Structure 1
Amino acid sequence: MLLGLAANRLHHHTEDAALFAFLRACEPGIRELQLGLHAVGRTHDAIVAAGLLQGYAPLVRYPYGRDGGLMKLVAEVVGMEGPGRTLDGAIYLIDPVDPSSIFPEALALKRQCVIHGKPFLSTVASARDWVEMERIHAGLPPDPQADGLHDYGAQTLALIAHDAMKAEMLAFADRHFDVLSRFSHRVATGTTGLRLNELAWNRGWPTDRYWVQRFHSGPLGGDAQIADLVLERRCHRVIFFEDPHVARQHETDIQLLERAVTTATYDAVCTTSPKVAQRWCEAARRREAGV
């Protein structure tokens, strides 16, 4: 597997920065998986200076962002001819107040990951969760350091889907109802929440209880309400099935939620691809069963 790797300056300019926290926690898993990392220049240099991933050949340096490094990662998510020129996803640790986080190449990196069903990992928690998920699928034993990410009984899950993705979200919830029901609390925006509750009741969930707590619809502020939960560390995992092909009137609200997730980088896991969400549910079952 190959991932692009980039981090805004906030996340690599001190010894305890987010990039280093991620690598210290996941370096054994990265080596076990032989995960290839195409790291944008300054991110790569910070890793080397910190003495992490020493002697690790699959860590490859790309140009600085100003020289097109992030643009090259976008092209490789889409897929380029030549060996090692197609990425399976990207880790981009975002500082939500860094202007470069809204440069066209930064936005395109996420958009192309969503379009191609590949992981876009914008927080420390998301990146750690993904590495553990792939370790489980590779048949490796669970990492005790990742137990907190899988303590679903103490977590709140948000389920959000744009109009074109609502049927996909309902199918996903139906297929993985057992895993999603392990969370202590579930929240959703307007119509998605209504349909998820109807699905749950049809599956035998007690009719006097809501399976999800409904907030406003996205255009009326539901994304902002869930963003507040994320900022207060009261929502721990967001599954957000986005339609990247349609202009949304409430685009700023969507961006607000995404910025909230990256602000809570150590605590919030965000999944934007149905394919990745499916793989996570399968890993969650296997991890609990110990297989």
Structure 2
Amino acid sequence: MRLGLAANRRHHASADAALFRWLRASGAGLRELGVGLHAVGRTYDAVIRHRALDGYAGLVRYPYGREGGLMKLVAEVVGLGEGRTLDGAVYLIDPVDPSSIFPEAVALKRQCVIQGKPFLSTVASARDWVESERLHAGRAPDAGADALHAFDGQTLALIAHDAMKPQMLEFADRHFELLSRFQTRIATGTTGQRLNELAWRRGWPQGQDWAQRFQSGPLGGDAQIADRVLDGRCQRAVFFEDPHVARQHEADIQLLERAVTTVTDTVACLTSPAVADRWAQAAARRAAMV
């Protein structure tokens, strides 16, 4: 497996920055799995300077961002043949860093979503991805990831834009038992109503909401969920975004995404059906093992 790797300046500026918190937590798993990390210039330099992955042959240097390093990651997420195709990207975003909204940064996320590959923009997401891949590889659960899987004390947000609502319902149907383990599920208006109807068909008590409904996205539902994220009342988001259409409430969508990256250590986000399915399969396997 190969992942692109980038982090905004704040996230690699000191020894306790987000990039190094992730590498300390996940370094052993990355080595176990032999994950190639194709790191943009400054991020690579910071990893070397702080000796965060000493002796790791899988760390590969790309040009600085100003020299096209992030653009190269975007092209390789799309795929350029053997040796030049990435399986996803870790991009630890500082939401107040202007470079986080440069075209190549936006395109990196968009192409990961389109290609059905993980886009890991928070420490929690990147940590969770390593644990999921370890489980798929037949490894025993890492006790250090237990908090991420304590679903009975967590809130899960389920959000899908119009064209993706059928896929969200299919995802919830396939993994209903796992998702029902969360203490609370929340959703924007129409998605929440359809999820509740699905739950009632599956035997959930009639009239009892399976998913707590907020406003629809255009009427502020994304902002309401962002508030929960910022207050530490939502720990995971499954966010099926349609990357192909312009939306009048784009600012609200960006608000939710910025909220997730603001609390980078505590919220994991899954950005496409394929990525969410793979996570759910690993989470169910883990639950059966612990």
Please report how far the alpha carbon of residue 92 of structure 1 lies from its aligned counterpart in structure 2 after TM superposition.
0.1
Task: Give the equivalent residue in structure 2 for 1:112.
Answer: 111
Task: Give the equivalent residue in structure 1 for 2:74.
Answer: 74
SS of corresponding position for 1:76: helix
Q: Which amino acid aligns with 1:57?
A: A
Task: Give the equivalent residue in structure 1 for 2:288.
Answer: 289
Q: Which amino acid aligns with 1:62?
A: Y
Once the two structures are superposed, residues 155-188 of structure 1 have per-residue CA deviations (whole angstroms, 9 ceiling, x without a partner) of 0000000000000000110110000000000000
Q: Which amino acid aligns with 2:54?
A: Q
Once the two structures are superposed, residues 11-55 of structure 1 have per-residue CA deviations (whole angstroms, 9 ceiling, x without a partner) of 010111000000000000000000001000000010011111111
| Separation of aligned partners in 2, 1:289 and 1:191 | 33
Q: Which amino acid aligns with 2:169?
A: L
Q: Which amino acid aligns with 2:165?
A: K
Counterparts in 2 of 1:118-157, with a 5 A limit? 118-157=117-156
The count of aligned residue pairs is: 290
Can you give the 5+ residue segments of structure 2 that lack an aligned partner in the other structure?
A: none
Q: Which amino acid aligns with 1:288?
A: A
Q: Which amino acid aligns with 2:288?
A: A
| Separation of aligned partners in 2, 1:50 and 1:142 | 28
Task: Give the equivalent residue in structure 2 for 1:91.
Answer: 90
TM-score, structure 1 normalization = 0.99
| Separation of aligned partners in 1, 2:45 and 2:226 | 33
Q: Which amino acid aligns with 2:220?
A: G
RMSD between superposed Cα atoms in Å: 0.8
| Separation of aligned partners in 2, 1:182 and 1:94 | 30
| Separation of aligned partners in 2, 1:104 and 1:208 | 45
Once the two structures are superposed, residues 102-126 of structure 1 have per-residue CA deviations (whole angstroms, 9 ceiling, x without a partner) of 0000000000000000000000000
Q: Which runs of 4+ in 1 moved over 6 A?
A: none
SS of corresponding position for 1:106: helix
Q: Which amino acid aligns with 1:205?
A: W
| Separation of aligned partners in 2, 1:142 and 1:175 | 23
Please report how far the alpha carbon of residue 131 of structure 1 lies from its aligned counterpart in structure 2 after TM superposition.
0.3
Please report how far the alpha carbon of residue 140 of structure 1 lies from its aligned counterpart in structure 2 after TM superposition.
0.6
Please report how far the alpha carbon of residue 127 of structure 1 lies from its aligned counterpart in structure 2 after TM superposition.
0.1
| Separation of aligned partners in 1, 2:52 and 2:266 | 23
Q: Which amino acid aligns with 2:19?
A: L
Please report how far the alpha carbon of residue 208 of structure 1 lies from its aligned counterpart in structure 2 after TM superposition.
3.3
Counting aligned pairs with the same residue, the percent is 74
Q: Which amino acid aligns with 1:119?
A: P
| Separation of aligned partners in 2, 1:208 and 1:258 | 31
Please report how far the alpha carbon of residue 207 of structure 1 lies from its aligned counterpart in structure 2 after TM superposition.
1.1
| Separation of aligned partners in 2, 1:247 and 1:263 | 24
Counterparts in 2 of 1:138-177, with a 5 A limit? 138-177=137-176
SS of corresponding position for 1:21: helix
TM-score, structure 2 normalization = 0.99
SS of corresponding position for 1:204: coil
Q: Which amino acid aligns with 2:56?
A: Y
Task: Give the equivalent residue in structure 1 for 2:16.
Answer: 16
Can you give the 5+ residue segments of structure 1 that lack an aligned partner in the other structure?
A: none
